[in-house]
Each structure stands twice: as structure tokens, then as C-alpha cells.
């Protein structure tokens, strides 16, 4: 199937470009997620499950 | 979590816990029923007398009832209980609509009852975990939409700006299950109780296992990961270990999961490119899966001492560990060299139950032990009973999974064993049964231990409920509009603070994998080379095939000879994609409790099939297959035959006008030929009975390719 799809394009570097794009986006997102300045923000988000907003009723 | 300033206007409201109570009780009830059915099915493989010669009690009908009851009744109700409890608290809002909640609950229970009745009656599509016929499929879609409206409506009226990670997993589950269910259920009805898949052969197989694999992903995994991210911190009274890791976990998982379905079809007639994609993405899945496991377990950091005394945490920690084990075993089994040994064996059954009993079962029990005292405003009746349940469950799973590992590997090796002269060491199926039988007994004992634990839980929860009273939970939170925006997290807010945007991106991530695998397989003809000698089934064979499906033969017999020497020697020429183009639905199967049947056509005379179906042990010594005496008594119903042939023609089978018009007469003529042959050998006349159609179908299987060997193409 790959050969069939590639036979319709003259750009044979397509699979390589796709892999590079995929990996680059993944690495950039990973770097952004682990950026040092966001620790406090993530710590607050991580505690969300503990806050029910409940006023214990009858 | 936004810390509200003291001067923010606060709103008071009540959470709807009544609906959570209903789903919690339904979870416990259906869990016991589904597991008891499984236990009976397990012992039917040890003692075939337990089929009782009763149609609705045979293994082929009970097995889909067991799998569906555990997945959709037990696990399904647990998902709804857990998501409804947690989404209200995470969003600081009552559920969107009490009426929709009730409709959702009663609609789902009605679907479960309908499923039980239809499966026992032999009404099934035979597509695993999607066996329900089209009217029930429509009902599932309607109830699922009600659930989605209720869920997303709750997000719309939330008082919390940020969507917590648990909610992301719920969103992905709701979207993906809807997509999977609709696509895999596409069928052409011929009556209220019968329909044919719009996909055929290998394409149907690809769609089915795209669904089957992702039903595991988005019904048995992602909702429970959401529940893990909510209930584990609650039980441990600790924040989640790493919110960063949860982001990578979520996006990695939802993007990668949809690609992995073809690993269920390795070495079959599915195109190689699809098999390779399935394997690669299965291996990649290990990373986010273990990231999630580590995140769940390390949430208990600094509080491991609680494990000694808190049964809820015991269940959660064991469940998450089983999640890790299953998500390691899955990629391992998707490697082609391992799959060549494991596929169609009991190893797969052990793998599935490690996930279902270990991950889903234990987590659900922990959640119920945590929820029920809170929902009834009381304390758990007995911590010791809960701990006893935990150990019974754990030991039960151990017996179950290890016996199936041993049985599976032994089976795989026996299927492939050759002696010095190049002959199969285990030439007949009954040669292998003495090795497997002890393992089947240990498996049954493991299941019995597990269910004993469930009975303890039911007693414990019943006494807990009796000691309390339904609670009303009031809450207080500032309205969303009054909450100031935080200085940090602007980019996160663009996604995680906007349910619609988040849902759209999740949908894109979910769709990519499936679309890139399924669309080319449907659109590019070279994927399924046609074979000139392969023709549609005759009208009588169509009826016979429907009986094969109805009796659930696919639960024990595959129809896919893989390209291995051990298989071609045992069964005959390996299966080609072009041989299945008129198979709606496909019958590849996923387990060989008995031998493959794809080349059984013409292998034995009609006389043999007549005796075999009446009593399998009369032809196959030591067989564990049940008897099918009702097929010799029940009349063959040809009322729908013409409609069925018409439906197949509409779906692309090249039946002529004459074949459609004279479908019933053709079926009767073929039945008469078979019956006359048997009468001449001293057997009763079966021309008007179901068995004659089944014999016609079995004798056709895999024979077309023999008519024109030169025309047989490759895969």
C-alpha cells in the first residue's frame, strides 16, 4: 500500500519528513510541559481531586 | 483548583448522589451475575455435561453473555457510578439533568437485560464484544448520547475553570466509544433479530478488531484511568504524584491506542502493512501506559504505611499493578514471534482476565468500598471482610492467570510439535486435552475463589447500607464568572479550560489512527486480491452460516489457517484474503478451543458431520464439545432466505435475479440432495431440519480455492 500511495507523489522524502515532524512536535511539547517555571501551577492542578467543595450535610 | 478569595459570592447546591447509588448497586449485582456465568462456562470445558443439552446453556451462547455482562454491565455501571460521582465534585456542579440521569440508568439496565435474553436465544452478530443485534445497538447509541449530554452539560454549568486530568480521560472515553460503536455496528438489517455487517472478510476483521482493541482501550482502560486520577488521591489523601506526567500519559495514550488494533490479526490474511503498524504502535503504547501506572502508584508516596490497614488502598494498588502487568504483556504478545505462539491459545484468555479481574475488578471493588459508606453516610461494616475479599481475589487471579499461561504456552507448543519423521506429534485435538484439563480445573477454582470474595463484598456492602441512610451532599463554590483568572497557566487554559476545544483536539487524536488504517484498507483494492473461483454462498449455506453464528461456534473454532508449516500440515493450505470477500461478518475467531475449520469443507463425509454434531465423542474421542440435539429437531426456517440473499446482493455479492427469486427452492433442493445421501446410508431424513443447512455450510468452507488452484493469489 505504501508503494501505491508513494507512486502518486514525486516527493519521496514524505515519510522521513512525517517522522521528523512527529518527533519534533513531541519533543517540543515535552520540553514545554517540563519547563521549570510551571511547578507551582502543576502542584495546584494536582491537588484538584482533594477539593470537593462539600459542606457535609444531613 | 482556584482558591476562592474570601469576598467571592458563594453558591450553595446539592450533588446528585442518588444516581451514583443506583449505579453502584447495579455494578455489584451485575458483577456477580456476569462472573457466575463465566464460572459455569469455565467448568463446561472440564465437564461438557454442564451444557445440559439445553440450547441456551451451551458454551457458545454463555461465553458472549459472560464477556458482555462483565464488560458492559459490571464495568459499565462502575464507570457511570464513578464518573457521575467525580465529575460533579471536580466541576463543583450538580449533574446537568436528573431526568437524563434516570433515563441513562434505566436505559442501560434495559439494554443489559435485552442482551442477556437475546444471547441466550442465540441472537448474535458474532462480532466479539459487539454481538448485540441492531435494535439494541441503536438503543446503546441513544443511551450513550444521553450520557454524553448529561456529562458535557455538567461541564457547561461548572464552577471550576480548569478541567482536571480525570475529566480528560472521561471525555476521550465518551467520544471514542461513540465512534467505535457506530462504525463497527454498521449493518444491513433483514429482520428485527438479524442483520449483516456492511464490511466483509478481512475488512470486517480490521474494523472489528479496531473496535475490539479500542473497546479495551476506551471502555476498560481510559475511564478507569480517569477514576484512578480521582479516587487514588482521595483514598491516599495525597495529590497526584505528577501532573506533568499525567499530561504526557493522556495525550500519548489517546493518540497511540487507536493504531494498535491489528495486533489481534497477526499472521492472518490482513495486509502486512496493517499488521506491522499494529505491532509498532503496541510497543510504543508501553511508554504512556507505564507512565500512568507509575503516576498512580507514586501518588501513595509518603503514605505507604496506609496499605497495611486500608483495604481500599490495597485494592487500588493491586489494580494499578495489574494495569502495569497487562500493559507490558499486551505489547509482548503483539510481537510477531511471540504472537505466533500465543495467538488462539489460552494465553490470550489469561491476558484478558489479568486485565479484567485485576485492573477493572479490583479497582471497582476498591471504589465501591470507598464510595458506599460515603453515599449512605456511614462506616464500612467490616474492614476484615474487605481484606479477606482482597486476598481471595488476589489468590483467585493468581490461579486463573497462571493456569492459563501454562495452558496457553503448552497448547502453542503442542500445535507446533513435529516428530523426527516430520509428522505432527499431537495429530488430533484429543491428544492435547489431557494436558489442558488440569489447567482448566485450576482456572475454574481460581474463578470460584474470586467470586467467593465478591460474595463477601456483597454481604459487607449490604450490611453497610443497612447501617446507614442515603446522604444528601451539599456543596458550596463561587460561580465561574466571579472567579478571577490566575496569573499562570494561560496556555493550559486555552485547552484545559475550554471543554469544547479540548474535546475537538481529543477527537482528532482519537480519529487519526483508526482512519489511517481503515480507510486505505477499504479504498485500495490491491489489499484484497480477488480469487476468480470464490463464489457467494448458496441460499442453504447462508442459512447454515447463520446457524453457525447463532450457536456461537466462533467462540471455539477459528476460520483462519495461518502460514505456518504446523498449520498447513494440520489443516491445509493457508487462508487468503480473497477467500473471505462474501463473509459478513468474518468468522476468523480469536480462540481455538477446538480445531480451525477453514479447510473442513470436504474433509469428512456428510455422515461424519451428522454424527459429530449429534454427539462429538462418537467421532472425536474425548472431545469437550457439547452435543447439539436440537439442530435435529428444530425446523429449518426459510422465511427470510430470500431477504437474506437480497441483502447480500445489495452489499455486493453477485447473485443473479434467478438466484434471488428462487432462493428458497434452491435451498430446498440442496437440502434434499444432502438428506437423500444420508437416508441412503441409513440415517433419518433431515431435509427440513436445521442440521442440514449447517452441514451444507461446513462442507463449503474453504473449498472454493481448491476448484481453481492456478487462480489463487497471494495475501
The minimum CA-CA distance between A3 and chain B, rounded to whole Å, is 11
For B3, nearest residue in chain A (alpha carbons): A44
Grid coordinates of B108: 442501560
Sheet containing strand A54-55, edge to edge, reads A54-55, B474-477, B11-14
Mutate to test the interface with B, among A53, A54, A55, A56 (most CBs of B within 10 A): A53
DSSP 8-state assignment for residue B354: I
Distance from CA of B312 to the nearest CA of A (A): 16
Q: Are B469 and B376 in contact (CB under 8 A)?
A: yes
What pLDDT score does A3 carry? 60
State residue A18's pLDDT score: 77
CA-wise closest residue to B239 among A48, A55, A6, A15: A48
Q: How far apart are CA B227 and CA B205, in angstroms?
A: 31
Asked if A1's CB is within 8 angstroms of B273's CB, the reply is: yes
Residues of chain A with pLDDT under 50: 57-58
Cβ-Cβ contacts under 8 Å, B253 against chain A: none
Q: For B161-181, how does the pLDDT look when each residue is reduced to its tens digit (9 = 90+)?
A: 899 999 999 999 999 999 999
Q: Distance between alpha carbon B615 and the CA centroid of its chain, in Å?
A: 31
- B455-513 pLDDT, tens digit each: 999 999 999 999 999 988 899 998 888 877 776 777 777 888 888 998 998 888 888 87
Rounded distance between C-alpha atoms, residue B492 and residue B283, angstroms: 29
Interface residue B230 vs chain A (CB under 8 A): yes
B477 strand-pairing partners: B11
> What confidence score (pLDDT) does residue B709 get?
53
Phi-psi region of B562 (alpha: psi -120 to 50; beta: other; left: phi over 0): beta
For residues B373 and B468, is the Cβ–Cβ distance under 8 A?
yes
Q: Cβ contacts (< 8 Å) between B89 and chain A: which residues? A: 52-54
C-alpha cell at B502: 479540548
Per-residue CA distances from B516 to B199, B203, B211, B390 (Å): 17, 14, 14, 43
CATH number for B17-198 (one of 3.40.630.10, 1.20.210.10, 3.40.50.300, 3.30.390.30): it is 1.20.210.10
Please list every residue in chain B whose beta carbon sits closer than 8 Å to the beta carbon of residue A46. Answer: 233, 239-243
User: Model confidence over B378-422: pLDDT tens digits?
Assistant: 999 999 999 999 999 999 999 999 999 999 999 999 999 999 999
- Predicted local confidence at residue B115, as pLDDT: 97
Q: Where are the domains of chain B?
A: 17-198, 345-483, 539-711
Helix (H, G, I), strand (E, B) or coil at B14: strand
Half-sphere exposure of B439 (CA within 13 A, CB side): 21
Q: Which residues of chain B have pLDDT under 50?
A: 1-3, 710-715
pLDDT for B526 equals: 67
Structural domain B539-711, CATH architecture: Orthogonal Bundle (1.10)
Residue with cell 439494554: B111
Mean pLDDT over the full length of chain B: 93
Amino acid at each position: 500500500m505504501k508503494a501505491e500511495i508513494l507512486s502518486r507523489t514525486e516527493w519521496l522524502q514524505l515519510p522521513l519528513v512525517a517522522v521528523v515532524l512527529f518527533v519534533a512536535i513531541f519533543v517540543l511539547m515535552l520540553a514545554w510541559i517540563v519547563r521549570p517555571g510551571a511547578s507551582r501551577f502543576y502542584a495546584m492542578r494536582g491537588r484538584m481531586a482533594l477539593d470537593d467543595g462539600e459542606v457535609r450535610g444531613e | 483548583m482556584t482558591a476562592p478569595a474570601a469576598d467571592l459570592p458563594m453558591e450553595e447546591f446539592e450533588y446528585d448522589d442518588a444516581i451514583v447509588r443506583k449505579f453502584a448497586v447495579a455494578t455489584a449485582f451485575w458483577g456477580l451475575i456476569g462472573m457466575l456465568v463465566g464460572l459455569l462456562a469455565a467448568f463446561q470445558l472440564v465437564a461438557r455435561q454442564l451444557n445440559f443439552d439445553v440450547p441456551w446453556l451451551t458454551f457458545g451462547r454463555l461465553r458472549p453473555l459472560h464477556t458482555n455482562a462483565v464488560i458492559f454491565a459490571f464495568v459499565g455501571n462502575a464507570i457511570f457510578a464513578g464518573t457521575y460521582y467525580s465529575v460533579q465534585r471536580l466541576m463543583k456542579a450538580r449533574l446537568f439533568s436528573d431526568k437524563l440521569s434516570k433515563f441513562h440508568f434505566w436505559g442501560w439496565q434495559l439494554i443489559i437485560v435485552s442482551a442477556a435474553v437475546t444471547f441466550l436465544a442465540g441472537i448474535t452478530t458474532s462480532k466479539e464484544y459487539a454481538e448485540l443485534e441492531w435494535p439494541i445497538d441503536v438503543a446503546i447509541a441513544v443511551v450513550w448520547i444521553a450520557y454524553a449530554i448529561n456529562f458535557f452539560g455538567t461541564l457547561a454549568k461548572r464552577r471550576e475553570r480548569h478541567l482536571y486530568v480525570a475529566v480528560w480521560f472521561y471525555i476521550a472515553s465518551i467520544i471514542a466509544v461513540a465512534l467505535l460503536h457506530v462504525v463497527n455496528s454498521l449493518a444491513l438489517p433483514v429482520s428485527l433479530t438479524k442483520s449483516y455487517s456492511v464490511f466483509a472478510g478481512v475488512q470486517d476483521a480490521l474494523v472489528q478488531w479496531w473496535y475490539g482493541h479500542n473497546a479495551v482501550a476506551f471502555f476498560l482502560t481510559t475511564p478507569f484511568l480517569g477514576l484512578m486520577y480521582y479516587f487514588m488521591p482521595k483514598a491516599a489523601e495525597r495529590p497526584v504524584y505528577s501532573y506533568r506526567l499525567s499530561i504526557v500519559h493522556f495525550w500519548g495514550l489517546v493518540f497511540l491506542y487507536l493504531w494498535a488494533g491489528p495486533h489481534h490479526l497477526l499472521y492472518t490474511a490482513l495486509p502486512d502493512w496493517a499488521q506491522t503498524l499494529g505491532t509498532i504502535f503496541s510497543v510504543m503504547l508501553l511508554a504512556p501506559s507505564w507512565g500512568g501506572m507509575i503516576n498512580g502508584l507514586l501518588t501513595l508516596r509518603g503514605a505507604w504505611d496506609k496499605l497495611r490497614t486500608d483495604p481500599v488502598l490495597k485494592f487500588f494498588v493491586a489494580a494499578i499493578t495489574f494495569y502495569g502487568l497487562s500493559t507490558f504483556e499486551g505489547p509482548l504478545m503483539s510481537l510477531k514471534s511471540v504472537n505466533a505462539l500465543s495467538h488462539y491459545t489460552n494465553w490470550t484468555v489469561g491476558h484478558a482476565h489479568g486485565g479484567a479481574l485485576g485492573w477493572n475488578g479490583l479497582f471497582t471493588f476498591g471504589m465501591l468500598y470507598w464510595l458506599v459508606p460515603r453515599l449512605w453516610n456511614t462506616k464500612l461494616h467490616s474492614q476484615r471482610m474487605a481484606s479477606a475479599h482482597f486476598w481471595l481475589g488476589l489468590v483467585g487471579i493468581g490461579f486463573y492467570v497462571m493456569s492459563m499461561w501454562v495452558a496457553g504456552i503448552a497448547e502453542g507448543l503442542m500445535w507446533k510439535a513435529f516428530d523426527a519423521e516430520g509428522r505432527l506429534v499431537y495429530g488430533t485435538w484429543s491428544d492435547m486435552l489431557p494436558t489442558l484439563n488440569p489447567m482448566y480445573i485450576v482456572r475454574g477454582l481460581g474463578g470460584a475463589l474470586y467470586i467467593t470474595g465478591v460474595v463477601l463484598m456483597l454481604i459487607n456492602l449490604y450490611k453497610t447500607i443497612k447501617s446507614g441512610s442515603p446522604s444528601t451532599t451539599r456543596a458550596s463554590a463561587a460561580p465561574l464568572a466571579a472567579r478571577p483568572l490566575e496569573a499562570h497557566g494561560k496556555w493550559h487554559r486555552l485547552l484545559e479550560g475550554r471543554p469544547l476545544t479540548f474535546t475537538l483536539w481529543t477527537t482528532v487524536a482519537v480519529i487519526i489512527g483508526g482512519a489511517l488504517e481503515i480507510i486505505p484498507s477499504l479504498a485500495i483494492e490491491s489489499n484484497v486480491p480477488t480469487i476468480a473461483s470464490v463464489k457467494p454462498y448458496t441460499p442453504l449455506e447462508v442459512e447454515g452460516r447463520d446457524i453457525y453464528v447463532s450457536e456461537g461456534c466462533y467462540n471455539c473454532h477459528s476460520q483462519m489457517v495461518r502460514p505456518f508449516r504446523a498449520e498447513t500440515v494440520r489443516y491445509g493450505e493457508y487462508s487468503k484474503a480473497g477467500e473471505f470477500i462474501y463473509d459478513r461478518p468474518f468468522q476468523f475467531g480469536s480462540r481455538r478451543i477446538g480445531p480451525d475449520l477453514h479447510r473442513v469443507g470436504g474433509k469428512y463425509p456428510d455422515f461424519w458431520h451428522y454424527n459429530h454434531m449429534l454427539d462429538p465423542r462418537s467421532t472425536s474421542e474425548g472431545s469437550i464439545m457439547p452435543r447439539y440435539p436440537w439442530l435435529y429437531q428444530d425446523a429449518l426456517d426459510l422465511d427470510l432466505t430470500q431477504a437474506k440473499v437480497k441483502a447480500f446482493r445489495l452489499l455486493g455479492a453477485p447473485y443473479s435475479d434467478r438466484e434471488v427469486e428462487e432462493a428458497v427452492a434452491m435451498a430446498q433442493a440442496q437440502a434434499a440432495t444432502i438428506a437423500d445421501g444420508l437416508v441412503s446410508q441409513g440415517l433419518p431424513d433431515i431435509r427440513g431440519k436445521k442440521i442440514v443447512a449447517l452441514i451444507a455450510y461446513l462442507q463449503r468452507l474453504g473449498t472454493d480455492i481448491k476448484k481453481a488452484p492456478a487462480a489463487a493469489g497471494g495475501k
